Amino acid sequence: MRYCRFIFEGHVHYGSVEDRAQEPWIVDLAAAPEEDLAFHLAHARKRALVDDPTGFDFEPMPLSAANLLAPVTPSKIVCVGRNYRDHAKELGNEVPAEPLLFFKPPSSLLNPGGVVRMPTASARIDFEGELALVIGKRATKLKPDADWRSVVRGYTLANDVTARDLQKKDGQWTRAKGFDSFCPVGPWVSDEVDPTAGFEIETRVNGELRQHGSTADFIFGIPELLAYITAAITLEPGDLVLTGTPAGVGPLNAGDRVEVSMPGLGVLTNTFQPEHS
């Protein structure tokens, strides 16, 4: 299963994504994940926005030609800080004894291809390429040896954009991590990859390789993360868990193009521009 979310002729649709010779295509419409709580909140009063896939004549199109949306409608975005040893070290931090959690608000979500707006309040805005888990079933108080795959719908890519100066200045991270447009996600959700098998993540800035990590280097693996998070917080269908970033983070300039990629998850591309331009 691989699905994206996009706007076509003014309506929101979900689409099935397949690799074709040159590039990925949206080959058919897919059912909306109706179990998503946030999906219901968003659409309860405007159901007409989501077409019945059966009543719509869809012609396949290259993904690059589609007006893509973030493929998820999370009620919350739970993030893990310092989950790769080399990244903890590069920022001069100890390797944590237990996962370090923070939130990004759903209002920070940004579409694949969207423009990150660089707030004037910050003088240093960093990229952080990350693997994101998409929750598929309500999960609460999961045991570390639970069947965690049964609550994960699939995987996607995220850029945990961070105002590094404000992260230090504020003492907590809500503003530094939470500006509008600071959470690009996509381009699609897939359950056809296995991140526990050592999964390579790369981040490029203007085409130059800046981050290259493997999920084999996680300090806390996915089962431990899900047990730790759900001991405190119930995860709902559609929620995102950002699993942390490898070494190589760095500041961006206006006009920069950031690409986060993993095999099987495509490329999440976003550009950065000043807030007022």
3-state secondary structure 136-162: CCCECCCCCCCCHHHHEEEEEEEECCE
Among the listed ranges 10-18, 32-40, 192-200, 244-252, the one in contact with Zn ion (CB under 5 A) is 244-252
Residue closer to Zn ion, measured from CB, 13 or 104: 104
The closest of 16, 18, 46, 47 to 31, measured between CA atoms, is 16
> How many residues touch Zn ion (CB under 5 A)?
3
DSSP H stretches of helix in 9-51: 37-43
The neighbouring-strand residues paired with 66 are none
CA–CA separation, 87 vs 251, rounded Å? 15
CA–CA separation, 222 vs 195, rounded Å? 9
Nearest distance in Å: CB 131, Zn ion:
11
Judged by CB under 5 A, the residue of 245, 258, 259, 260 near Zn ion is 245
**105-124: contacts with Zn ion (CB under 5 A):** none
Backbone angles phi, psi at 44, to 5 degrees: -55, -40
Q: Which residues contact 179 (CB under 8 A, 6 or more apart)?
A: 108, 117, 119, 161, 163
Residue closer to Zn ion, measured from CB, 51 or 160: 160
Among the listed ranges 97-105, 152-160, 256-264, 267-275, the one in contact with Zn ion (CB under 5 A) is 152-160
Question: Is the backbone peptide bond immediately before 187 cis, with ω within 30 degrees of 0?
Answer: yes
186 DSSP assignment: E
**121-140: contacts with Zn ion (CB under 5 A):** 128
Nearest distance in Å: CB 191, Zn ion:
23
Residue closer to Zn ion, measured from CB, 4 or 80: 80
Q: Kindly state whether residue 236 participates in binding Zn ion, applying the rule CB under 5 A.
A: no
Judged by CB under 5 A, the residue of 36, 51, 126, 160 near Zn ion is 160
Residue closer to Zn ion, measured from CB, 36 or 126: 126
Nearest distance in Å: CB 151, Zn ion:
22
CA–CA separation, 16 vs 4, rounded Å? 7
Nearest distance in Å: CB 112, Zn ion:
18
Residue closer to Zn ion, measured from CB, 17 or 77: 77
Enumerate binding residues for Zn ion (CB under 5 A): 128, 160, 245
